[in-house]
């Protein structure tokens, strides 16, 4: 039976009730894990207010500001976790961003600035967060991230995010190799298209969802909670022998050709 009681989990990337990170947080909580969650700080505090109201039923131990482009905020998160728990068992990385120019038009027109920003937030941040988590995972741990089929196949309008996800998936493998001797497992979940705040920036997202509903073996797409179920499994001792993997949760769409 899936049991995360006594486990501590640091969940990044919750924006609203459509976030995949929200589905993961719910399922980790249901399995018994104690949560620390982040919000993206902004001048008016809108994101903080929204996240605090959303996660209240989960009774998180910590609600922390975290802009992964700010080194000090990452360090502050881990300092707060150290002071609260003294250790960490689970890290969930649900962070991705690309400017609109990186999701439309020709790939060759993407600017250096947009490319660098997307890779810093969407790809580099996994390794940076893993670096902070490593010394706190004194009894081993599980690190999870989110990918998408566009990291291995050409998807219309995904453009720059495809490059970021490809790098993210390779980061999973290198981190798994590095952290394995410390009994820290690193895996990714490649979810089918789900309508979220992040995916709304991808042109034709509704067409993508309808296409999957028509062509996937299960003839539907997946929900945030289904991704959350897989995340909870990968975070648990039931997945103790799994690391360096990208698990598809996409109603089987990845296996199809024509």
Question: What phi and psi values does residue 187 have, to the nearest 5 degrees?
Answer: -140, 160
The Cα-based distances of 24 to 4, 94, 145, 229, 234 in angstroms read: 13, 10, 11, 7, 11
Q: How many helices (H) and strands (E) does the chain have?
A: 8, 7
Quote the CA–CA distance of 195 and 73 in Å, as a whole number.
29
Q: What is the 3-state secondary structure (H, E, C) of 102-122?
A: HCCCCHHHCCHHHHHHHHHHH
CA 113 to mean position of chain CA atoms: 23
Contact between 80 and 93 under an 8 Å Cβ cutoff? The reply is no
158 part of the active site: yes
Residue 46's CB is within 10 A of a number of other CB atoms, namely: 12
Catalytic residue among 78, 148, 248, 253: 148
Catalytic residue among 78, 124, 158, 248: 158
Quote the CA–CA distance of 81 and 157 in Å, as a whole number.
38
148 part of the active site: yes
For the annotated catalytic residues, the residue numbers are 148, 158
């Amino acid at each position: 039976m899936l049991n995360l009681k006594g486990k501590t989990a640091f969940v990044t990337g919750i924006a609203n009730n459509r976030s995949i990170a929200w589905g993961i947080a719910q399922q980790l909580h249901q399995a018994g894990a104690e949560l620390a969650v982040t919000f993206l700080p902004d001048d008016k505090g809108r994101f903080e207010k929204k996240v605090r109201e959303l996660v209240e039923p989960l009774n998180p131990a910590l609600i922390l500001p975290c802009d992964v482009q700010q080194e000090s905020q990452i360090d502050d998160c881990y300092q707060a976790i150290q002071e609260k728990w003294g250790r960490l068992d689970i890290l969930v990385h649900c962070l991705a961003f690309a400017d609109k120019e990186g999701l439309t038009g020709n790939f060759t027109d993407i600017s250096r600035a947009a490319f660098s920003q997307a890779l810093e937030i969407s790809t580099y941040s996994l390794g940076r967060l893993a670096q902070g988590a490593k010394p706190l995972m004194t009894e081993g741990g599980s690190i999870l991230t989110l990918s998408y089929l566009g990291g291995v196949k050409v998807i219309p309008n995904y453009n720059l995010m495809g490059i970021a996800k490809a790098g993210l998936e390779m980061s999973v493998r290198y981190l798994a190799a590095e952290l394995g001797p410390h009994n820290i497992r690193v895996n990714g979940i490649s979810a089918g298209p789900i309508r979220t705040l992040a995916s709304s920036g991808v042109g034709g997202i509704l067409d993508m969802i309808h296409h999957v509903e028509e062509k996937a073996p299960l003839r539907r797409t997946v929900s945030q909670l289904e991704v959350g179920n897989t995340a909870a499994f990968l975070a648990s001792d039931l997945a103790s022998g799994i690391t360096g993997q990208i698990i598809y949760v996409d109603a089987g769409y990845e296996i199809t050709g024509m």
